[in-house]
Amino acid sequence: MRLSRIVKRLVSPESNTSSEFLAWRKQFFAERIQLIAWTIWAVLILVTILNFTVVIPSLDATGDPKLMFNAARSQSYLESVVIQLICFSLGLVICRSRWVYQNPVRCFLILNVLVILPTQINSLWQGKISLDSSLWLIYYSLQAFIVPVHWRLHLLCQITPLVYVLIAFLCGLRDPNIDLLANYLMTGVYTIVLCAIADSGAFLFERSRRREIELRQQLRAFIHAVSHDLRNPVLGAVMTLKSFLKPSEPIAMIPQELLEQMITSGERQVALINSLLETHATELQGLAIYPKPIFLTELVANILQDFQPFFQQNKTSVNNVIPDNLPPIYVDSLQFRRIYENLISNALKYNPTGLRLTLDAEVIQKTRGKRRKKFGKLAINKPNNKLNIDWMRCSVSDNGVGIPLEQCDRLFDLYSRGRDQRRSLSLGLGLYMCRQIISAHGGEIGVISSPKRGSTFWFTVPIVQK
């Protein structure tokens, strides 16, 4: 019962693992278990033939009693080969059954038991241990190469025989084919090193495959959002124009209000296409910034002045509590301005009227060489790589609808679908560019939010050094 819990904990997926990846891993795992069963069975047959036809006759020809296969040693080896062939054949039958697709993890564990443990049990019955490092090295190498998933299961299957041999060795049992204590140590070290390399390869392969599937899912969602945001306005415009099309009349009369709506819709599409092109260019060429000292209060005041018509239209109240005595920041004013514009416009767009916005900023403590995560290709004209620098933490808060916690972590990703899945493309592109700009300055950006409690977007930028 306890072993079952351990295995279940080892194979249980992470909380953020997609169902598509889990389905792929289960199918891949089942198919590769069959391949490893056939491969190890063929290797055993080949090794057995080589031992009986080449290795054993060569050792007997030396005349050295320590190397020669006498009757007892030959019988012991023959018993071991017969046991391995029977167990491998049984494992092959199990892996060929339909059960492997229903319970691939159990089949994997059973196959490992049938490959490794029978020879150990037979040796224990004879009062000795069998440190068959050649079999272990071959099997664990093939296993990690052919089945490079579930690295924790690989680790469990590798540790079990090593722990058994260690306990048996401490209890006084020895391998008659190994004379020196150093040989036990070197065999164990070689096995552990190879297993560590094999498990590392399985871990890296599984992680890269998981990331690939997640990116494919996000790309599908992104393409769906693009097709929705671009197709529907065009479709509406075409239907509207068709309604005014009258072949019998040479001139079509379109109301002024309708023309204004169509122009506004077209401008939104152009802005969306420009955002897509800019995002693509940033991914390929990087984002170059040209920082210089500016005062945050002056910049924010200009931005708020530009947004006054929108504030009046949406009945939005703004509380600007940014202190006037803040030191200047070292940023690219044009790019940095876009961050506030994106955050404020998103707050107005995705919240009901009567919103209350709060803008604040403060100087935070020094950080000593903190490593910041970089996204995409970022370039800065005058990088600031000092270990000790001051940062300014800016924030834009609202009392709107808020964002679910599970969306906050991925809100700044390129393919994130945002708050409203039906109209999130422009939101996702805007926040992605905000993160690119902040990362180019060496800062960080994030959001603190929960449904019906509003949102606080924060970001850090460097302060001019004295």
Query: For 119-163, what is each residue's pLDDT tens digit?
Result: 778 778 878 887 777 777 888 888 888 989 888 888 888 888 888
Q: Class assignment of domain 284-462?
A: alpha beta
Select, from the ranges 186-190, 276-280, 303-307, the one with the highest average predicted confidence (pLDDT).
303-307
Write the burial class of residue 435 (CB in 10 Å: 0-12 exposed, 13-18 middle, 19+ buried): buried
pLDDT at res. 414:
65
Where do the domains of the chain lie?
18-215, 284-462
Query: For 363-421, what is each residue's pLDDT tens digit?
Result: 986 554 444 433 334 443 444 444 456 899 999 999 999 888 877 777 887 655 544 44
pLDDT at res. 446:
92
Q: Is the pLDDT of residue 89 over 70?
A: yes
Which of 391, 342, 349, 343 minimizes the C-alpha distance to 366? 391
- Is 130 in contact with 123 (CB distance < 8 Å)? yes
pTM over 0.75: no
pLDDT at res. 200:
92
Which of 402, 446, 296, 449 minimizes the C-alpha distance to 359? 296
pLDDT at res. 458:
95
pLDDT at res. 322:
94
- Is 134 in contact with 178 (CB distance < 8 Å)? no
What's the pLDDT band for 263 if we cut at 50, 70, 90?
A: confident
**Between residues 112 and 7, which one has the greater pLDDT?**
112
Strands in 234-386 per DSSP E:
287-289, 292-294, 317-320, 329-331, 356-368, 378-380
Query: For 1-35, what is each residue's pLDDT tens digit?
Result: 555 565 566 556 565 677 888 888 888 988 888 88
What's the pLDDT band for 466 if we cut at 50, 70, 90?
A: low
Q: Is the pLDDT of residue 319 over 90?
A: yes
Torsions phi, psi for 368 (to 5 deg): -100, 95
In angstroms and rounded to an integer, the radius of gyration of the C-alpha atoms of the chain is 34
- What SS3 state is found at 174? coil
Q: Is the pLDDT of residue 90 over 90?
A: no
Residue 200's Cα: distance from chain center in Å?
16
